[in-house]
Amino acid sequence: MEFGNLEGLEPVSPNGQYFSSDVITLSVLAVLEFEIPIIDAESQTMSLLKNVFLPISPRFSSIMVENDGKKEWRRVEVKLEDHVMIPIFPSNLSPESYDQYLEDYLSRLSTERYPQGKPLWEVHIIKYPTSNAAGNVVFKFHHALGDGYSLMGALISTLQRADNPSLPLTFPSRQRSESKKRENFFVTKIFSSACNTISDIWWGISKTLKEDDLTPIKSSNDAIEFRPSTIATMTFSLDQLKSIKNKFGVTLNDVLTGMIFFGTRLYMQEIDQSSSTADCTAMVLLNTRLMGDYMPIEEMIKPNSKMPWGNRFTFLQVPIPNLTELSNAEDFIRHTHKMIKRKRNSLAAHFTSRLLEIVNKFGSREASSRYIHRTLKNSSMVISNMIGPVEQMSLANHPIKGFYFLVPGLPQGFDITIVSYMGNVRLAFKMEKGIIDPQKLKSCMENALDMIVKDSNKNPNLNN
């Protein structure tokens, strides 16, 4: 498919420039797991890419170029065969053996640079059956193309409902509650927000300058983003998590983040008792768009869209509670709820975005990238999440039984991503190889959830 060069070049967004520098380069890997073997994959994929995927956004047919010190998108000819890879593994192995081949492939894919002079996306078709799927398709996107919300929308545009392709995929509501409460306590909220903002700005600056303690989840190795990684996933019932949410009167994200914090501390304690009180920080990615349902791509790319395409996110720096500070699993959920609510009400995240703009304007893009890199590197983990469809998806008449995503390029060794799909929540862990024991970590996460469920059942009518 060919595109001519255009005179008017679209500028790369500030976040897109920060994440496409010599200092830090981020990507998104979306892994689709299929119910049935992948047949005639290449021709069907080429057709979908040409007729559905490329027209979604000009960025999928563009490369980044430097123009007077600023990065811009330039349209180029797209040779689809250069973007579709079908790896060859040994034949007739067990699904468990192919699990390892897939993990190693994703690890290599996470560290590979994008080829020069080509649009920043790839599709990898893996035909071999693993324990979880009859085959896998992996989409790799450069983060400069858009954030998880944008790329999820693009990916969904290439997929259909498995039960009825003529009907649209639907998503759980993303609307937040408590708007009336915020109006009723407007003055109090302003005062509280101001105090929290000052405190959080000071704390955030100190965390950018001071690295977290070395623990069983954080090593002293440099350039972790270029080292081999271990990848593991877990699946949880969305109904079970919602039941906990309702009993505690918190949000679903509070339950998931609290469970992750609790399970991580249990793992750290099991590996090294002294790490129970270690200083650990989580970077929680936050969508800065107005909360609402996913919009069609044609709406996202309109001028002044309420849910625009692009990189519209920031991160919250959240301290991971100590086991010695909290007495039980319920305390972890409630403490996490209070921390995240406070961070959301604070303007510290917006201050960080403004600070990066100032550094970029009066310093350099590389200086802004170094600030982000240092902040991420000094933390112990990153948590990001997306909302997936309620119904089962299919790609070229191949039903998708599950999917997860990863964010390669982050300069620390413990990254956790969360996505909902078909009544389940999938957690994916990307860990520095040889540092974190994936099976022991998963066991600790399961124990954390069991303890949270037990505490939530002590009082069935519990609510805030």
Instruction: Strands of 104-151 (E only): list them.
Output: 121-126, 135-142
Q: Name the band, by pLDDT with cuts 50, 70 and 90, for residue 419.
A: very high
Q: What is d(CA 262, CA 340) in angstroms, rounded to the nearest whole number?
A: 15
Helical axes 329-345 vs 238-248, angle rounded to 10°: 80
What class, spelled out in words, does domain 179-393+412-458 have in CATH? Answer: alpha beta
CATH number 3.30.559.10 given to 10-161: yes
Q: What is the dihedral of CA 150, 156, 81, 311, to 10 degrees?
A: 10
The residues spanned by each domain of the chain are: 10-161, 179-393+412-458
The pLDDT tens digits for 70-128 are 789 999 999 999 999 999 999 999 999 999 999 999 999 999 999 889 999 999 999 99
Q: What is d(CA 192, CA 317) in angstroms, rounded to the nearest whole number?
A: 18
The pLDDT tens digits for 293-343 are 555 556 665 566 665 555 566 778 889 998 876 668 888 899 989 888 877
pLDDT over threshold 90, residue 443: yes
Q: Which of 240-249, 285-294, 307-316 comes out lowest in average pLDDT?
A: 285-294
Q: What is d(CA 169, CA 344) in angstroms, rounded to the nearest whole number?
A: 30
The two domains 10-161 and 179-393+412-458 share their CATH topology (first three levels equal): yes
On average, the pLDDT of the chain sits at 84
